[in-house]
Amino acid sequence: MDPFVKFTSQSQGRDRIFRAAQYACSLSIYLIRNNCEKKDLEARLKRLESSLSAGRKLLRLGNAANSIEAAKRSMQLSDRVLRLCLTVANVNRALYFICDNVLWAKSVGLIRNIDKERWSLNASRFYFISLVMHLTRDVYAVLQLMTKKSRDKHFKQKMDQHLTENPEVAEVLIPQLDGFIFLLLETLKSHPALALDFVKNISDLFMPLDKLGLYQSNAGVMGFCGLISSLVGIVTLAQPMLKISP
């Protein structure tokens, strides 16, 4: 019980629980949309989803400042690639939160004369850039780890054994490609924090892609991806060892 109380006492913890519940509602609405007998349930889920979305916007007030502080810290990193990726990602995340806060103020009547559609598109653009930079960081980290692992003598023996024991797979995939896939999977398996971060960012990417019209999805896909991303976020917040660093 104590870990749960500690988790929910954090604003990030509450936001991620709300987010998971919101996307679970979205996915459920999509799955029952054609069931005439569940129209009442669908209406209640839509109201709950709307309430959760509004609650999350309130919880995110002030997150722009946190992202700016994160950008300042990332500027001190010695690795130039990580410094660039994380700084750009955090700056764009801060801009996304500013747009999100303006949209919240518009929804509660604090601001009136703004173009809601324009601010929403800008928010999606900033969110998209932030995710792309985070994914670039993930790919960079994976390639570094793969290079390091490929030089390990013990791993070379393990890969040679894999290719010897699975000749039919190697023939279909081409030995070099099979070896690359094996190396990639072994790298992700030995670094779960990186694997989870990659899954989370890929899942989140579908949302801004859809809103920007770059890749059209449906409510079911976005609900599923949002739920997966939210569950990963909950796991990494509850278990700091599974959170990628820096």
pLDDT on residue 197: 97
Q: How far is CA 27 from the centre of its chain?
A: 17
Q: 209 CB contacts (<8 Å, ≥6 apart)?
A: 128, 215, 217
Residue 5 has pLDDT above 60, yes or no: no
Residue with tokens 């959170």: 243
Domain ranges in the chain? 1-59+216-246
For 74-95, the DSSP string reads HTT-SSHHHHHHHHHHHHHHHH
61 against 206, higher pLDDT: 206
pLDDT band at 232 (very low <50, low <70, confident <90, very high): very high
Residue 187 has pLDDT above 70, yes or no: yes
The neighbour count for residue 187, using CB atoms within 10 Å, is 22
- Which range among 23-32, 102-111, 186-195, 213-222 shows the weakest confidence by mean pLDDT? 102-111
pLDDT on residue 138: 97
Residue 77 has pLDDT above 60, yes or no: yes
84 against 4, higher pLDDT: 84
Report the alpha-carbon angle 61-18-54, nearest 5.
Answer: 50
Q: How far is CA 88 from the centre of its chain?
A: 16
- Let me know: does 184 contact 224? Beta carbons within 8 Å: no
pLDDT on residue 203: 96
pLDDT on residue 163: 62
Residue 2 has pLDDT above 60, yes or no: no
Percent of the chain clearing pLDDT 70 (strictly above)? 88
Q: Which amino acid is at 137?
A: R
pLDDT on residue 188: 92
Q: Count Cα neighbours of 140 within 13 Å in the Cβ-side half-sphere.
A: 15
Percent of the chain clearing pLDDT 90 (strictly above)? 62
Give the integer Cα–Cα distance in Å for 67 and 129.
Answer: 14
25 against 12, higher pLDDT: 25
| For residues 200-213, average pLDDT | 95
The neighbour count for residue 216, using CB atoms within 10 Å, is 8
Residue 81 has pLDDT above 70, yes or no: yes
160 against 102, higher pLDDT: 102
Residue 147: both structure tokens together: 């290079």
Residue 146 has pLDDT above 80, yes or no: yes
N- to C-terminal Cα separation, the chain = 30
pLDDT on residue 245: 86
Residue 205 has pLDDT above 90, yes or no: yes
Q: What is the pTM of this model?
A: 0.88
The torsion angle over the Cα atoms of residues 165, 143, 148 and 70, rounded to 10 degrees, is -140
Give the integer Cα–Cα distance in Å for 174 and 171.
Answer: 5
1 against 152, higher pLDDT: 152
Give the integer Cα–Cα distance in Å for 138 and 70.
Answer: 17
